[in-house]
Chain A
């Protein structure tokens, strides 16, 4: 398993863990937003849950403040592993810029694909906590599959793609059993096959498709959220069926600098390999 992570990856993991340990021991003042209200780093680098970008803006920057986050995510299913290293900066709780590098390890082929994603997100209306109107953000993810040979061989049309999305997020205070409930709904326009890991479009599918992505998380404590996500996916490659993704997760915001997420994921069928279920883990550092 570990051999799938290159040496530089392992060094980064160690560095991340060391920084996390330091931040837990010596918390530093991040921005002013309430604990957890930036969400966490999703697998595509944008602030959100695990697999869904939310309307939340990364980190703890409130008005006129800056924030930076770094994330490390792992998805481990039967025949695949997805590793994401990401970083994001945000300003004013309105603007988010994120960078992500995804390594997609295909165990049966003993090879990994690599995708880079630049994400931008802008909060345009509402507020996560303080207004009746949910927080509305719009965003884009500029994706580039660096090793296009395999996606091309299975029918993908393009190496690059842009996903456009709009998300609404809202925390309902005192919603269920006296606990706060976060809900998020995202509509994404995409041409991506398996989120771009298998390239973009196909000879039969050259147009954008609209997909829905949903999350709900109950804050059982101020620092612990238990949630569920659903990510609708297009199905464009003739060689294999693509399924919607689902996950269950527990997130713990240890303090304003470190959060960790663990979960169970169901990615369905990927590249003719069915029932890809397994584990999800993520850690985020925030300043």
Chain B
């Protein structure tokens, strides 16, 4: 009987350890996937006449590297975000709700094209959604 308890206990502990969820960063596909994600997003932005004008004075190379860094950081990856706060970086751009919606839809479309699992997509969206108030109408 005692042996059974021990076995169950050992099984539970190992099962729990084995089932420890990988970080969101890993679920998204790590650095490779996040880089592809950002590059895909840049292409979508470039082809969206409704929002591309917001980027006309943007240093795209810097924007790209900061966004990769930020997505890595926000998904618990091994990065520190070194860019400005969301409020700072969007002030003066007058990003509307429609602009924000379009960017989110592009993000979803790119994640889907990259075959990122839906639960990882939704977890990332859940972490990004609260930024709405810092990004829009500033």
Contacts and interface: CB of A to CB of B under 8 A. Distances in A.
Contacts of B125: 173-174, 180
Interface string A120-133: 00000001011110
B118 A32 contact: no
Contacts of B50: 32
Contacts of B118: 178-179, 221-222
B129 A129 contact: yes
Given A34-B108, A35-B105, A130 B100 contact: yes
Given A178-B120, A222-B108, A34 B96 contact: no
Given A174-B126, A178-B119, A179-B118, A32 B105 contact: yes
Interface stretch (A61-69, A187-195, A266-274): A61-69
A41 B59 CA distance: 44
Nearest to A35: B105
Contacts of B108: 34-35, 222
A148 to B, nearest CB: 44
Interface string A50-65: 0000000000001111
B126 A130 contact: no
Contacts of A179: 118-119, 122
B123 interface: yes
B98 A65 contact: yes
A132 B50 CA distance: 27
A177 interface: yes
Interface residues of B, number: 24
A31 interface: yes
Contacts of A222: 108, 112, 118
A35 B104 CA distance: 11
Contacts of A177: 119
A132 B130 CA distance: 8
A33 interface: yes
Interface string B108-138: 1000100001111011011001101100000
B10 interface: no
A135 B123 CA distance: 21
B98 A180 contact: no
Contact of A63 (B98, B105, B123): B98
A130 B103 CA distance: 13
Contacts of B112: 222
Contact of A62 (B101, B117, B130): B101
Contacts of A130: 100, 129-130, 132-133
Interface in A137-180: 173-174, 177-180
A131 B126 CA distance: 11
B127 to A, nearest CB: 9
Nearest to A92: B97
B119 A131 contact: no
Contacts of B133: 130-131
Contacts of B36: none
A224 to B, nearest CB: 11
B66 interface: no
Would you list the 10 A-B pairs with minimal beta carbon distance, nearest first?
A: A178-B119, A130-B132, A62-B98, A173-B126, A63-B97, A174-B122, A32-B98, A174-B126, A32-B101, A63-B96
